[in-house]
């Protein structure tokens, strides 16, 4: 059973999440955090698999403090469910190493899908957050039309499908060193710095399709 702690000062938000996972066999809400004073103490004592939190200025935890979660409970993965979706806040939160990012408008199906991804150690970003990031990239006139070879596109698809480097090598009948070289060239050619940026590029260019409700 995956243990979850929900940190939100709003009672209805905590109860609402409890309702979402209440009838699942995989997840159990083992604690609630309603104030900043409770955060560190409960994380240390419970050490949940997942912390669900809305980083909100002046509330339980601010965006700049998200990395403190890993310091207090290193094995806890963070899933953000936020009502604040400005471009700057979205990018700040993603850079803090959270595993998932949803908005408060997301439905039960997408929340459970996000939890499943986080448990597997995979990143999950809902469609609205993807739209926010892509809008920022387009506003800044970043070039998403950099030509890629067929092999590079093939490798990007496999990366976004969560294949490991070894699995990609075996699937394409190439050496793992060749996979490393392709990955390095792809990131350099597209001027990307992280796997999240690569996934966003793949969605925007049509290489893959984002998850739909």
The percentage of residues in the chain with a pLDDT greater than 90, rounded to a whole number, is 37
CA distance 126 to 130: 6
CA angle 40, 45, 51 (to 5 degrees): 60
Q: Dump pLDDT digits (tens) for 47-90.
A: 999 999 988 767 788 888 898 898 999 999 999 998 777 777 88
Q: Domains of the chain by range and CATH?
A: 2-136 (3.40.50.2300), 143-204 (1.10.10.10)
Per-residue pLDDT, 169? 92
Between 193 and 143, whose confidence is greater? 193
Answer whether residue 6 shows pLDDT above 90.
Answer: yes
Per-residue pLDDT, 95? 81
CA distance 38 to 5: 12
Between 200 and 19, whose confidence is greater? 19
Q: What mean pLDDT value characterizes the chain?
A: 84
CA distance 191 to 205: 15
Q: Dump pLDDT digits (tens) for 120-147.
A: 888 888 878 877 766 654 444 444 445 6
Which of 127, 94, 143, 150 is closest to 213 using CA atoms?
A: 127
Answer whether residue 203 shows pLDDT above 50.
Answer: yes
Non-local (6+) Cβ contacts of 83 within 8 A are 54, 103, 104
């Amino acid at each position: 059973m995956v243990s979850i702690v929900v940190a939100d000062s709003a009672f209805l938000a905590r109860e609402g999440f409890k309702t979402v996972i209440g009838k699942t066999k995989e997840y159990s809400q083992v604690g609630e955090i309603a104030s900043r004073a409770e955060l560190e103490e409960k994380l240390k004592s419970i050490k949940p698999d997942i912390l669900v939190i809305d980083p909100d200025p002046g509330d339980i935890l601010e965006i700049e403090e998200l990395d403190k979660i890993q310091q207090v409970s290193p094995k806890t993965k963070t899933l953000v469910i936020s009502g604040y979706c400005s471009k700057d806040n979205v990018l700040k939160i993603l850079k803090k190493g959270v595993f998932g990012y949803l908005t408060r408008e997301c439905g039960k199906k997408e929340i459970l899908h996000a939890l499943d991804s986080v448990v597997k150690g995979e990143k999950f970003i809902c469609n609205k957050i993807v739209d926010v990031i892509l809008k920022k990239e387009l506003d800044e006139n970043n070039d998403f039309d950099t030509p890629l070879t067929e092999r590079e596109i093939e490798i990007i698809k496999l990366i976004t499908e969560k294949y490991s480097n070894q699995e990609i090598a075996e699937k394409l009948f190439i050496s793992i060193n060749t996979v490393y070289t392709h990955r390095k060239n792809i990131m350099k050619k597209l001027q990307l710095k992280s796997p999240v940026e690569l996934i966003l590029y793949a969605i925007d260019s049509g290489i893959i399709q984002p998850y739909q409700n």
